[in-house]
Amino acid sequence: MVDVGGSFYALKKMLRADIGFYERDFLARVGQEGARTFLSDLVGTLKDKAKTEQMDSMLKQYSQRGFGDFTIRRIDEQRGVTEITSPNTIEAWAFRTNRDMQRDPVCSYTCGVLATVCRLACGREDRPDADFSAAEVKCVATGDDECRFIIGPMDELLKQVPGFKRSRESASEAALRLNEEILLKNMELQSLNLSLERQIRRRTEDLRRAEENYRQLVELSPDPIMLCSAEGKISAVNQSGARMLGYDLHGDLEGQSIKTILAGGADAWEKLIWRVEMEGTVRNLELELMMKNGNKMVGEVSARFTDLAQGRFVETVVRDITQNRQIHEQMLEAKTESEFLTDLMSHDITNFAVSAIYFLENLKKSEHLLDQDKRNLAIALRDIHAALELTTSVRDLTRIKSMNEQEVEVKELQQLIDQGIEEARRTFPERKVLVNFERSTEPKFIRGNAIVSRLFANILTNAIKFDSKEEVVTDIGVEDEARNGVAYWRINISDRGRGIPDADKERVFERFSRLDAATPGSGLGLFVVRFIAKACGGIVWVEDRVKGDYAQGVKMVVLLQKATQRQVAAVSRRRGI
């Protein structure tokens, strides 16, 4: 009977139906019948003992068999009601151990056992089972700390446990109802099975069509495409892929190992597979491939995993960049040669121009020159100065445009300023130039490049050109400044020239901008200044030396990013400082 009761529970669970009233009642009857048989021999030896002692003896028999530990809380002999608790009935313990908490009490078999124990101890064998029962009011399986049972006649249970009831359904009626449920569920399962079969057939056909369309798209693609197993065996290749490698038919490649096509062999394939597994998709990985005629080609490979009906494959798309690589290398060679020629030409022209300026300036001092000769000499000097500025500007722009992030390094600011001062003085050897610059004993490091010295040289050259006084005086100061969380060195360069009106303060940084056509120049000096500052992450602008009076001279303000302590330390380690 216990097996039958357990089967009811299992069947209900399989049918996804709630454990019904009948199933609980059936297990309670199983418990009653089992207890009556199990305790029949013990009852005769306990007749002369007290009721509590009789119950204890019978309950200990069940405890010893592992059905749980039971404690009698109270006995009301007048009403025939007994209250018993247990922290670990065999039924509730199983649910709690499996963490399968229930909404309703589950100890139906234990209720039947306790009803029989109390009936035998209280001498109520005269009352039928249906009129003497047990109700579980607390249960460990529902989250309580113990199972609590009230046992007694039905009329008393109905008073003490509201809502308690017993099934009046016969076994045959319950069996008929259960059969009806099984039949209905069976029909539902058959209908579900047919629906699943139709969905599987439809999905299979959709998958077949999708794969067929995929293969057609692969074949039509102008890009070489190959499908390979994870081990590197070529499963399929389109015609573009076959032609790229020098094969007439794509069938000549299918079945071969892609490791024989890759110049790096198995290592190259393992590298590609590892990247795909780690990143999901690989884009534009450069690999060398072997063509049918033995020549090598450089391919840009993109790859990913794709799942087809036959299994998982690696889909690779290859783009031949051999010619592009050759063109790129030729461009690098041409760029290197062009930069060399530009540096060589600008260096020589600069030297020639500076030498010519020096001698022409000395020639101007001659007392034997006619007025017309002096005018012609002034024109020649102006043109040489303009040519010199143009040459250095073109050289500077070329260097900046070719500069990459790796060339932005740590430089000492004061040394760059000194280099700019010396270069400006060499450009105008005939002028008396005084630069007031108080150098700090502590180094001031920036993120920049050696070409930053040209920024200061251009600013100082402008100050000399546009100051007609016999002695050109320029002040340079360096201080800290922070903007938007970025630390800068602020360099103020003030002159006493003719100044720049407010309307022109931004226009002077435009390319080929010249405010005074009579003054020699290319109009690129300050354009180059801003270009250099921007390339190093800096900022430059114009202010009045005397606020509100532009005619008192110009203050050029340059912000250059400070180098971090880590960057400075890295440079010191490289130099062994």
Single-letter amino acid, residue 563: A
The domain over range 2-169 is classified in CATH as 3.30.1380: yes
- φ, ψ at 307 (rounded to 5°): -100, 120
Mean pLDDT of 187-207: 81
Domain segments of the chain: what residues?
Answer: 2-169, 221-320, 328-575
Q: What tens digit of pLDDT does each residue of 504-537 get?
A: 999 988 876 666 655 555 567 788 888 888 888 8
From 278, 237, 233, 239, select the one nearest 259 (Cα to Cα): 233
First and final C-alpha spacing in the chain: 93
3-state DSSP assignment of residue 558 = strand
**CATH, domain range 328-575:** 3.30.565.10
The domain over range 221-320 is classified in CATH as 3.40.1260.10: no
Q: What tens digit of pLDDT does each residue of 210-241 get?
A: 667 666 666 667 778 888 888 888 888 887 87
Query: Is the fold of 2-169 the same as that of 221-320?
Result: no
319/302 Cα distance (integer angstroms): 9
Pair 28, 109: CB distance under 8 Å? yes
What sign does the CA torsion over 76, 77, 80, 84 have?
A: positive
Which of the four pLDDT bands, split at 50, 70 and 90, describes residue 9?
Answer: very low
From 464, 453, 462, 458, select the one nearest 419 (Cα to Cα): 453
What is the model's pTM? Answer: 0.40
Pair 483, 559: CB distance under 8 Å? yes
543/511 Cα distance (integer angstroms): 20
Q: Count Cβ atoms below 10 Å from residue 487 Cβ, excluding itself.
A: 12
Mean pLDDT of 324-348: 61
Q: What is the DSSP string of 453-472?
A: HHHHHHHHHHHHHT--SSEE
Which of the four pLDDT bands, split at 50, 70 and 90, describes residue 564?
Answer: confident
pLDDT of residue 414: 94
User: Hey, what are 494's tokens?
Assistant: 């003030």
